[in-house]
Structure 1
């Protein structure tokens, strides 16, 4: 039986190679959405209108360890609290953990007021924010660190990022 697994895995990998895994267009091939001027949108932009990282991102990168600890503690506490709920406990536990982790990360940078005051652009859509960042700033040598800082404040952005880029890349 074990001998069957290897050929199946190899065949699967070859099919993905032949069909091609989802591809992402180069930033220059895509059009960035226009951000909201000001911080009234649901999501504060990690970049300001003059192209530098927002103050909240810089501060988040400085306290990265605190954010990671907060996220892990929040995830664990949320999962433990929800383990007793049949069927949906794992999902709700993850969501509760993300919220707790976000709260800790947000507090570590100075709170929502600092987040909003340190940027002059925002978005109402995670997809728009992902595409804007990718098109305009993915060549930045600190881009992965900026993404990580953004994930700490907006945990749901981490799961939305790649699908947003893949859907924008369809047909390019």
Structure 2
């Protein structure tokens, strides 16, 4: 192994093993703040559709961990082990995000159109860092009770089924830690779900009116 490779390995180990610094602790608060901002945006959508008195039905979850996207809640509405751990362990996510950012910059400078790929690499690095810090993909999967086939289904389920849960904000923050794309998908996914529900409501009302004639 080359000296540069050894230095890189030692640097990674140092970042992962040293207790959380103020900067890393700040990263935890930043994730919570992001979740709060996302939830504030969700509330705007809810307020808009509440005028139409639309009840949003949550997608049916897969009972077990066979789905691609894991739910931070158990069937009884309590947080899973991995969700609780995600809220307390952020060093790996922070290291992964920084490593991903560095890798993205390096790739962007050497590969044509690399700039378009760097953000994706950074997100993947953050996801891998979060997974490693929590205990790895196997641990997350093992401690998952509900899962979904798509990220949008997970987002809509959390909102429709658990938004009144006192741990809702924490659940969104922990899910965002392992699914970085969630932050940019929340608004769209919930908006589309409400539009679909509004359309179904109108069609049902029209059918009922036609039947009564």
**Residue matched to 2:19:** none
For 2:87 and 2:54, the matched residues in 1 are separated by 27
**Residue matched to 1:23:** 45
Deviation of 1:77 (Å): 2.7
Alpha-carbon RMSD = 2.2
Is it true that 1:158 corresponds to 2:170 in the alignment? no
Deviation of 1:132 (Å): 0.3
Gaps of 5+ in 2: 1-43, 199-213
Q: 1:169/1:73 Cα in 2 relative to 1: closer, same or farther (>3 Å)?
A: same
Deviation of 1:69 (Å): 4.1
Correspondent of 2:164 among 133, 139, 143 = 139
Gaps of 5+ in 1: 1-21
Structure exhibiting the larger radius of gyration computed from Cα positions: 2
Structure 1 segments of 4 or more deviating over 4 A? none
**Residue matched to 2:155:** 130
Correspondent of 1:32 among 20, 33, 58 = 58
Q: Does the CA-based 8 Å contact 1:60-1:67 persist in structure 2?
A: no
Q: Does the CA-based 8 Å contact 1:123-1:129 persist in structure 2?
A: yes
Q: Please give the per-residue CA displacement for 1:85-104, whole angstroms capped at 9, x wherever unaligned.
A: 33x32221111111111111
Q: 1:28/1:51 Cα in 2 relative to 1: closer, same or farther (>3 Å)?
A: farther
TM-score, scaled to structure 1 = 0.77
Structure richer in helix, relative to its length: 2
For 1:62 and 1:169, the matched residues in 2 are separated by 33
TM-score, scaled to structure 2 = 0.63
Deviation of 1:58 (Å): 0.4
Deviation of 1:28 (Å): 7.1
